[in-house]
Amino acid sequence: MRYEDIVTMYAASFLLAKKVAEKFGMEAAQEIIKEWGVELVTPLFEKTREELGLGKRTDLSVKEAQDVIIAFDKESEIMWDVVEETPDMIVTTLDKCPVKDACSLIGADGNEFCGKAFLTMATKMIETLNPKLKWVGEFEPDLNKPCRYVLSYK
């Protein structure tokens, strides 16, 4: 899927979530984003893992999990920059972020949709690779600065 298509898909979903937030509160909207994301991404994530020859294993190392993330996003031209790497931890940033771009497109608060909802969904996806892993995103509200992500063991 092209980067622009991903931005459009997120923008449409976040716009719907904004409407849910207006009627039922931001917490309900964040829960919808989390559930939507897991249901949408899980089969795609599993396909990527299998394409890398990792099967359905749930004991991936930090490096193998990061390889799945990078391969998953590569088709959409989203490039992860590895800032620091050890056997137990990988720190990355994104060259461009479809979630931030989608929030900007519809005038949504990126911290509400990414920092509090999307990152939680992404963490659940990482746990499918290995429940002993954690993925912590440090949301950067400035659209011109990248967010920082740390993938490590719990």
**Which whole-number Å values give the CA distances from 109 to 43, 79, 98, in the listed order?**
28, 23, 14
pLDDT at 62: 96
Residue 90 lies in a domain: no
pLDDT at 67: 94
Residue 24 lies in a domain: yes
3-state secondary structure 27-88: HHHHHHHHHHHHHHHHHHHHHHHHHCCCCCCCCCCHHHHHHHHHHHHHCCCCCEEEEEEECC
pLDDT at 16: 87
Residue 27 lies in a domain: yes
Residue 10 lies in a domain: yes
Residue 57 lies in a domain: yes
Give the tens place of pLDDT for each residue, 71-111: 988 878 888 999 999 999 999 998 788 888 998 899 888 87
Say yes or no to pLDDT of 143 above 80. Answer: no
Beta bridge partners of 82: 92
User: Considering the entire predicted model, what is its pTM?
Assistant: 0.83
Banded pLDDT at 128 (limits 50, 70, 90): confident
Residue 91 lies in a domain: no
Residue 22 lies in a domain: yes
Give the tens place of pLDDT for each residue, 9-18: 889 988 888 8
**What is the domain range of residue 35?**
3-77+98-132
Residue 149 lies in a domain: no
Angle at 118 (CA atoms; ends 53, 154), nearest 5 degrees: 60
Q: What is the number of structural domains in the chain?
A: 1
Give the tens place of pLDDT for each residue, 19-59: 888 999 988 888 887 788 788 888 888 899 999 999 989 99
